[in-house]
A and B are shown apart, each in its own frame.
Chain A
């Protein structure tokens, strides 16, 4: 970065950054903590460093893990109509599609709302904890982070949380519906999952996986 006049084509590859969405090439400039570097033509965020981002993400990830497990065990909605009472947990909801080919849908639902979000949290912790502690990256950390990124669109815990709210509106006039403890856990989960996505700067993670700090 010493020669700002060097044409892009002559810069070494580690001094440029390419927008993964639109292929635009820029001279690499690391923004200060709290700033964002975004692509000029498609506005994709390229580098979004934050002070202490690693620790924050780890803290959020641990909270998400506890919430996912908790939210799946406790009932999230209870229904009461003419003396008939029913309380359901996430597991019950996932298994609603039992019988025949519907079992596939049960498995997919369970994966989307429970197993994939949980797996992503574990992978995130596995990759980030050594980085934050300034240790060499964990074994297969690159594969773990790749898998975590591939699974990102398939992790639907927060979609399920909004689904709870919709279902609630639908049965509200049919019967008395109450919230179980898991309902509030899902509410918190939505906020935390969004926070986690905002804190995570992929560029920084890949960079530290490639150039680990020597302790």
Chain B
């Protein structure tokens, strides 16, 4: 597979944005239209050069997601009933218990996938939302890459919920053992969904606006 370089305008270094040229592109189907057009003539999507409400929506979803993440960690994720005991463990509690039994590898993976990655996602989204408001030390390319990673990883966090669903339906062995979903699962799912919505609400075009020197902080309109 070969990469074709798009032919650039004017000098070979300078990339113009549609906004500079008085053009607004549809975020859904990417068809360009003159600035001021309200809806896309191809797909009917609402046209905005830069989404003014974007950051508000990001922070709203972000806050709800973070609020859901707290009970997701304090309530038990799984209720495991075996012959002699009932065990209700939280995400972190379960990982610590595994570590006690010597399963350091699995404990580490669980902590990484269910604690480190969700927290890193919250921080990344917050960092991106703050960085478009003020000059940032990281390059636009790096921040765009960060966004792509967050957006890509987002849906994979649902894997925890699917594992709980699979275990709860699979391990139903009458009196011998049974696993049932705990209250945390619903909060964890909500947290993942709202983090995904927060990432989707972010208008990535803003990343590329802020640091063009003459335009300064004209990001928000």
Contact = CB atoms under 8 A, between A and B. Distances in A.
Which of B5, B26, B30, B186 has its CB near the most chain A CB atoms (within 10 A)?
B30
Interface string B18-59: 110111011111111110000000111100000000000000
Interface residues of B, number: 70
Contacts of A84: 173-174, 176
Contacts of A149: 28
Contacts, number: 224
Contacts of B168: 93, 96-97
A29 B171 CA distance: 56
B170 A79 contact: yes
Interface string B144-178: 10000001001110110111111111111110110
Given A27-B6, A101-B186, A174-B171, A163 B163 contact: yes
Nearest to B7: A27
B162 A146 contact: no
Given A86-B170, A108-B189, A21 B163 contact: no
A170 B1 contact: no
A153 B200 CA distance: 9
A61 interface: no
B21 A20 contact: no
Contacts of A159: 155-156, 158-159, 162
A163 to B, nearest CB: 3
A37 B158 CA distance: 32
A138 interface: no
A35 B16 contact: no
Interface stretch (A9-17, A51-59, A62-70, A123-131): A9-17
Interface in A18-54: 18-27, 29, 31, 34-42, 46
Contacts of A95: 169
Interface residues of A, number: 77
A210 interface: yes
Contacts of B5: 40
B9 interface: yes
A32 to B, nearest CB: 8
A29 B193 CA distance: 38
B174 A13 contact: no
A103 B21 CA distance: 51
B23 A18 contact: yes
A36 to B, nearest CB: 6
Contacts of A9: 16, 21-22
Interface string B69-107: 000000000000000000000000000000000000010
13 contacts: A23-B19, A25-B9, A38-B6, A81-B177, A82-B173, A96-B165, A96-B169, A102-B181, A112-B158, A146-B43, A156-B155, A167-B166, A206-B42
Given A35-B3, A42-B144, A153-B200, 11 more contacts: A18-B32, A27-B6, A34-B2, A41-B141, A42-B208, A84-B174, A86-B171, A93-B165, A146-B44, A159-B156, A175-B171
